[in-house]
Amino acid sequence: MTIRNEGLVLEISVKKDWKMLAENVIKGYKVTEEEALDIIQAPDNEVLEILSAAFLIRQHYYGKKVKLNMIINTKSGLCPEDCGYCSQSIVSEAPIDKYAWLTKEKIVEGAQESIRRKAGTYCIVASGRRPTNREIDHVIEAVKEIRETTDLKICCCLGFLNENHASKLAEAGVHRYNHNLNTSADNYTNITTTHTYEDRVDTVETVKEAGMSPCSGAIFGMNETDVEAVEIALSLRNLDADSIPCNFLNAIDGTPLEGTAELTPTKCLKLISMMRFVNPSKEIRLAGGREVNLRSMQPMALYAANSIFVGDYLTTAGQEPTADWGIIEDLGFEIEECAL
């Protein structure tokens, strides 16, 4: 705002009322693109106020509960896609373990490990463009046994799905299917060329039509602009994704994005808060790269997010589950119960 005083022209910053914006969101107001951009472009010295406001929304929908999720990488590497962030892609030179499908027994054992880690959702993940009929049947066999012996929620992430495969997974008892948008439509061809942004949107819609809960999120820090970061959040709102994993690029050596390091802990906190404001009632999950990018500020992110992965990711290490349990306890939050 510009004011004039005794011949002087002064520029005065009009500070945003983040708390009022949060209260309006709770009443049903939809944050605009401009307001979302204001959140991630706010000065770093406003981060605490933004988090405090985001927590009002988070608390309204989730109280102090934190949902834990665990990943099992059932098929590693050998993927024909050229996603620039991924160590499992065909263009990656990262020295990772590469193996075909784990046995049904190993997948079922992983469910018990999920319970030991206090994770209520068990995520069965496999590299590749899309599953074959045989691979779908293999997953379904494991899912049925897990459903018979536990109360775990099961999420699958197996690549692109057709209607038949989606229906089969839903009928077998898969609760949720993950297929991330990853980045904005405008930035997409800078990240991968072997499939399109629309291909990913189509799979999310197929998942919804089959009756599974749609899980779709983003990877921040892949050379996207602030405007494009907001576009991801708005696209996820339009898709009505129930669960939104927020990944922060962990630039693995040997991948095309090796050496990329755009994010700071405060920027990550503003991105998570922005996602909460734009998608107030949704499960906002701290996902891959949180340890590397948020560092000592990880606990603060749970004032906006209400869900995390515990343990390792697909090809990178996470922190010990006991460290996550400690963070949750120290914040005065509670782990969402997982019962046998």
Give the tens place of pLDDT for each residue, 125-154: 999 999 999 999 999 999 999 999 999 999
| Token couple for 251 | 């630039």
Nearest to 132 by CA among 106, 100, 109: 100
Q: Binning pLDDT at 50, 70 and 90, where does residue 281 land?
A: very high
Q: State residue 305 phi and psi, 5-degree precision.
A: -85, 160
The confidence score (pLDDT) of residue 113 equals: 95
**How far is Cα 196 from Cα 69, in angstroms, rounded to an integer?**
28
Range of the domain at 207: 36-335
Residue 10 has pLDDT above 50, yes or no: no
The confidence score (pLDDT) of residue 15 equals: 78
27 part of a folded domain: no
Residue 5 has pLDDT above 90, yes or no: no
19 part of a folded domain: no
Report strand pairing: 283-286 vs 2-5: unpaired
The confidence score (pLDDT) of residue 4 equals: 56
Provide the number of structural domains found in the chain.
1
The confidence score (pLDDT) of residue 303 equals: 98
The confidence score (pLDDT) of residue 6 equals: 56
**How far is Cα 129 from Cα 126, in angstroms, rounded to an integer?**
9
Report pTM: 0.93
1 part of a folded domain: no
Residue 2 has pLDDT above 70, yes or no: no
12 part of a folded domain: no
92, amino acid identity:
S
Looking at residues 93-106, what average pLDDT do you find? Answer: 92
18 part of a folded domain: no
160 part of a folded domain: yes
The confidence score (pLDDT) of residue 252 equals: 92
**How far is Cα 238 from Cα 224, in angstroms, rounded to an integer?**
20
CATH of the domain at 301: 3.20.20.70
**How far is Cα 295 from Cα 277, in angstroms, rounded to an integer?**
23
Q: Binning pLDDT at 50, 70 and 90, where does residue 31 land?
A: very high
Report strand pairing: 213-215 vs 8-11: unpaired
Q: Binning pLDDT at 50, 70 and 90, where does residue 8 land?
A: low
Q: Binning pLDDT at 50, 70 and 90, where does residue 12 land?
A: very low
At 151-184, the pLDDT tens digits run 999 999 999 999 999 999 999 999 999 999 999 9
At 295-308, the pLDDT tens digits run 999 999 999 999 99
Residue 62 has pLDDT above 90, yes or no: yes
9 part of a folded domain: no
Looking at residues 37-47, what average pLDDT do you find? Answer: 97
21 part of a folded domain: no
At 316-337, the pLDDT tens digits run 889 999 999 999 999 999 999 7
Q: How many residues can be counted in the chain?
A: 340
Looking at residues 59-82, what average pLDDT do you find? Answer: 95
At 14-26, the pLDDT tens digits run 679 999 999 999 9
Residue 280 has pLDDT above 60, yes or no: yes
